[in-house]
Amino acid sequence: NAGVMQNPRHLVRRRGQEARLRCSPMKGHSHVYWYRQLPEEGLKFMVYLQKENIIDESGMPKERFSAEFPKEGPSILRIQQVVRGDSAAYFCASSSGQGFDTQYFGPGTRLTVL
Amino acid sequence: QKEVEQNSGPLSVPEGAIASLNCTYSDRGSQSFFWYRQYSGKSPELIMFIYSNGDKEDGRFTAQLNKASQYVSLLIRDSQPSDSATYLCAVKVGSSNTGKLIFGQGTTLQVKP
């Protein structure tokens, strides 16, 4: 079984550009979570989505960040007009929504803003 | 007070010893608790989850939960150098089975040969 897939694995952007991070959940999973890990910091929740719906975006910065999980295709985390402080590892996790709803993480996207 | 607290370490133990990793949480309504392992530069990997008071064993790993004390721990028996990593405690807040995880800062474990 394929696990959670994320691409690209590494992304370099200049200040002011846009970054698009993609996440395909595990087969059979319809719940997607995005987390960010800043250098030397812990994992912080950003947003929780199910197909076509944002369930919880309490961790998303108010500006420049958006997320979607369309009916078809991967979930996308979009960062507009990136700044150096956006440099971090962005992890996607997926779950089935059943039982204790264990979340399984993808390999992450390392974003570097020059 | 942070929602989930861990001692950042590093915790250093000799090979073959028992490593004890601790975590406290602030939300009394939390129902499920997770331990993840993260190697440097890699993504978190699930080790165990626990939801009932007491112990839960899986191979060399034992998770312990005490809801009254709001405390969860992870014991690693017969520690190996390959266990050297950062261990993340995560708590699912609220009563719903789905929802975000709140992570502690992680404890760095070093197992010395």
pLDDT tens-place string over residues A48-106: 999 889 999 999 999 999 999 999 999 999 999 999 999 999 999 999 988 878 999 99
What pLDDT digit, counting tens, does each position of A20-43 carry? 999 999 999 999 999 999 987 889
B80: distance to nearest CA of chain A, Å? 24
- Given an 8 Å threshold on Cβ–Cβ distance, is B43 in contact with A56? no
Burial class (CB in 10 A: 0-12, 13-18, 19+), A112: middle
- Given an 8 Å threshold on Cβ–Cβ distance, is A101 in contact with B92? yes
Which of chain B's residues have a Cβ under 8 Å away from the Cβ of A98? Answer: 97
The pLDDT-based confidence of A1 (bands split at 50, 70, 90) is low
Nearest to A42 among B45, B46, B104 (CB): B104
In sequence order, what are the residues at sequence separation of 6 or more whose Cβ sits closer than 8 angstroms to the Cβ of residue A38?
Answer: A44, A88
Q: Are B49 and B34 in contact (CB under 8 A)?
A: yes
Q: Across residues B65-88, what is the average pLDDT?
A: 96
Residue B6: name the closest of B104, B110, B109 by CA.
Answer: B104
Interface test with B, best of A9, A29, A43, A50 (most B CBs within 10 A): A43
Q: Across residues B66-83, what is the average pLDDT?
A: 96
Interface test with A, best of B2, B36, B98 (most A CBs within 10 A): B98
- What is the pLDDT at residue A29? 93
Instruction: Tell me if chain B has a CB within 8 Å of the CB of A40.
Output: no
- Given an 8 Å threshold on Cβ–Cβ distance, is B88 in contact with A99? no
Instruction: Tell me if chain B has a CB within 8 Å of the CB of A75.
Output: no
Query: Which residue shows structure tokens 């250093």?
Result: B12
Q: What gap in Å lies between CA B50 and CA A51, rounded to an integer?
A: 28
Which of chain A's residues have a Cβ under 8 Å away from the Cβ of B49? Answer: 100, 102
Q: What gap in Å lies between CA A54 and CA A33, rounded to an integer?
A: 10
- How many residues make up chain A in this entry? 114
At residue B14, does pLDDT exceed 60?
Answer: yes
Q: Across residues B3-28, what is the average pLDDT?
A: 94
What phi, psi does A55 have (nearest 5°)?
A: -90, -40
At residue B93, does pLDDT exceed 90?
Answer: no
Q: What gap in Å lies between CA A43 and CA A22, rounded to an integer?
A: 18
Q: Across residues A3-7, what is the average pLDDT?
A: 96
Instruction: Tell me if chain B has a CB within 8 Å of the CB of A106.
Output: yes
- Given an 8 Å threshold on Cβ–Cβ distance, is B100 in contact with A43? no
At residue B97, does pLDDT exceed 80?
Answer: no
